[in-house]
Amino acid sequence: MFPTLDDLTPIARVHKSYGTEGVVSIVFSSKMENIKLEEPMFIIFDGLLVPFFISDIKYKGNDKAIVKFESVDQLSDADNLSGATLYYLNEALPNENSQDDDFQLSDLIGFEILTSENNSVGIISAVHDFSGNICFEISNTNKSDKNDILIPYHDDMLIDLDIEHKKISLHIPKGLF
């Protein structure tokens, strides 16, 4: 059975084409990660829901992604999608009422970073994914000559994660900040 608009939730907007091979950049309306590639996104054309299957997705931060749809292979096709709202099946969306034990790195925004000596580095204001290299953007640093800094992150750096008090302790190499 084909879905109706009642079965869908708007989750993103096509921002613009990206390159010349039919790839588009999208902006999510809320935090959305790990979209199921087997589930289509839908766009309304002339009052009809048209499914678009994702062949590749690369997340860029918390609310952006670069997406290749299976049926979009040319720049002109990608340009035609610019500004379109993307809808996703309600049943495929994460259940907000369920207990989600999968803590995401983006959930660390607002956490205070502490060194192994328990010194405050600052507050995480953003989490960036630079082609698989995770970096925390830190604001309110103790250094008077810098406002924001980037600290690369790897799981081996983690000392302690205190979700209740919104603190994360890391082994940070000397001279990094």
Q: What is the pLDDT of residues 42-96, one digit of tens each?
A: 998 888 899 999 898 888 877 788 999 998 999 999 999 998 888 888 887 765 5
DSSP tag of 95: -
Closest CA to 128 of 104, 148, 150, 107: 150
Q: In the sheet that 8-18 helps form, which strands lie side by side, from edge to edge?
A: 48-52, 41-45, 85-89, 8-18, 23-28, 64-69, 54-60
DSSP 3-state of 90: helix
| The overall pTM is greater than 0.75 | no
Domains of the chain plus CATH, in order, are 5-92 (2.40.30.60), 105-170 (2.30.30.240)
pLDDT tens column, 96-140: 544 445 667 777 888 899 999 998 888 888 888 887 788 888 875
